[in-house]
Structure 1
Amino acid sequence: MQQRPRRLTSTEQRWSAAVLMLLVMPGVLPEAVVQQPPVVSAAVGEDVLLPCELQLSSESLMTTPVFYWSLWRGTEKVEVRPPNQSDAQTPTNQPLLLRGVSWAHGGSYLCKVSLRTRPKGSYRTNGKKTTLLLYDQLLFERCMLDHTRICCQGNVTQDAAFSLSILHDGQTVPADADAAADAAADAAAATAQAQPFTLSRTAPLQGAGRYECRLLLGEGLMTESLLILNETEAGGGGANTTSSRPFVGVAPEPWLLYGMVLLVPVTVLLVLGMVQMSRRLKEPPEEVC
């Protein structure tokens, strides 16, 4: 006796329809994903690597993907041709290497990938941009117009996430509120990311000790500069004895000691020469036949 085929339940019917749709319509399959970090920071003059990785889920590559880069400064778009190759490159991981970055490299970099996969076919997918933030060395010294205060400044990419912090012996020194507010306002009002602006902060001297000026990006430390004052320099009646060097209170070069050390061998040579000459004078003259 022939058995009647079992009828599918409603749940089984829904799952079967979903599987059939995925097989028949490859366009509904999940696309490949381009991974980019949101922010990369570097000092001016350094080599920078901007990561870009293609991640595939259920698709398989039929050809080698092609990576493209675009640089965005506000509404301005510039196509970037990556001339430099990186050791980290693979068919699905091709970071952009920028050598000796300058302020002109600042902006948002978009990574785009053209690929051909099975079963989806040929298409292009984009990342979500990486913002390159740059900074320069800090200038940290006693203020020129007011020697009872210390001034710190540095050039950075126009971004409100940058901030300066001044510490004395490990403790944060309250800075001028108006200076911090002006810096944030300038960064918010800036439009051309290729041009840096000067971030500055001042704070009152709090006696002798170790002063630090730190450049922060959010909560991360980018760079710092040190200023060390002894008791004489901290209370010197307003005289600036630290100049503009990051480390101060250094003893002067002992040039007198160096001269005395160099005179010792010269003196020894003179004494030996005089002894030799006196010996020759005491010797009787040779008789001539």
Structure 2
Amino acid sequence: MGAAALIKLLQPPVIAAPLGHDVLLPCELQASQDVKITNTPVLYWTAAGDRTLEVDRNSSNYSHVLKKVQWSDSGPYQCKMSIKTSSEESFRLKGTNTTLVIYDTMTFNPSSHNHFLLRCEINVSEDLGFALSVLKDGSLLQGVDSDHGPAVSGAVTLSQTVSLTGGQKYECLLLLRGDLVTSSTFYTKPTAPGGGGESQWSSSVMERVEQIQEPWILYGSLLLVPIVVLLALLTAILMC
């Protein structure tokens, strides 16, 4: 068995990263104890279309950091390495490929057209593995509307709309092939007994209470008028 068969470059199959953030693309070199590497491995990273990335080719850390990722950065990445062993001449290894997917900030609020509907929406890079789920107090809700349409170049919009009813905690989950990527939580007020209930959510119902000051000075003046008149009449009677 050749040395090449005893050395592997391992990469995670998929990585999700928030839009505009840095992301680490891992690459792990695994070699059997029987293999002796006689050079400092020369590292290459390629993106979709076999585009070579600028990396430190003599680094002992085989991972690569992408800065402030944008939608155009989504896609497959592969680490490659030129290696020389004591038993063979130089050869190149290829990693197992990592697919980078990107997601934007999630919004989770009552619909602007109907406050009895709760809408979750997020832009993601084009990957069929993405899915939205909405929970109410831990139970999965059936959506009344969902969408999977284009947003901007290289991204699509996922949305899920559910009925907003009595309850205290709603959660929207962005899943990637069944794993949680990001989530948002929406809380409602407890429904008061006899309050008619379904519209009592704290983020969309605001109560305004105004306190009106009573005109006590005016009331006092009005009460003094008949007293003054009565005293004047009594004085006139006594003088007569």
**TM-score normalised according to structure 2 size:** 0.73
For residue 124 of structure 1, what is the aligned residue in structure 2?
92
Residue type matched to 2:203 in 1? Answer: T
For residue 35 of structure 2, what is the aligned residue in structure 1?
59
Residue type matched to 2:174 in 1? Answer: L
What secondary structure sits across from 1:147 in the alignment? Answer: coil
Aligned 8 A contact 2:43 2:59 in 1 = no
Q: CA deviation at 1:165?
A: 1.0
CA offsets, 1:251-282, max 9 Å, x none? 88x9x9xxxxxxxxxxxxxxxxxxxxxxxxxx
For residue 38 of structure 1, what is the aligned residue in structure 2?
13
For residue 242 of structure 1, what is the aligned residue in structure 2?
203
For residue 49 of structure 1, what is the aligned residue in structure 2?
24
User: How far apart, CA to CA, are the structure 2 residues paired with 1:251 and 1:61?
Assistant: 72
CA offsets, 1:109-136, max 9 Å, x none? 0110011111011111101210111111
CA offsets, 1:166-198, max 9 Å, x none? 11122111114x62xx53xx59xx9x9x71111
In structure 2, list runs of 5 or more residues that go unmatched.
212-240
Asked if residue 79 in structure 1 is aligned to residue 40 in structure 2, the reply is: no
For residue 275 of structure 1, what is the aligned residue in structure 2?
none
Percent identity between the aligned chains?
A: 35
User: Number of paired residues?
Assistant: 205
For residue 176 of structure 2, what is the aligned residue in structure 1?
217
Asked if residue 96 in structure 1 is aligned to residue 67 in structure 2, the reply is: no
Q: CA deviation at 1:139?
A: 0.7
Q: CA deviation at 1:79?
A: 1.4
CA offsets, 1:147-182, max 9 Å, x none? 221110001111111111111122111114x62xx5
Identify the range of structure 1 (217-226 vs 112-121) with the bigger mean alpha-carbon deviation. 217-226
Residue type matched to 1:222 in 2? Answer: V
Greater fraction of residues in helix: 1
Change (3 A) 1:81 1:29: closer
Aligned 8 A contact 2:165 2:198 in 1 = no
Aligned 8 A contact 1:59 1:120 in 2 = no
CA RMSD between the two structures:
3.3
Asked if residue 149 in structure 1 is aligned to residue 117 in structure 2, the reply is: yes
In structure 1, list runs of 5 or more residues that go unmatched.
1-21, 244-248, 257-289
What secondary structure sits across from 1:227 in the alignment? Answer: strand
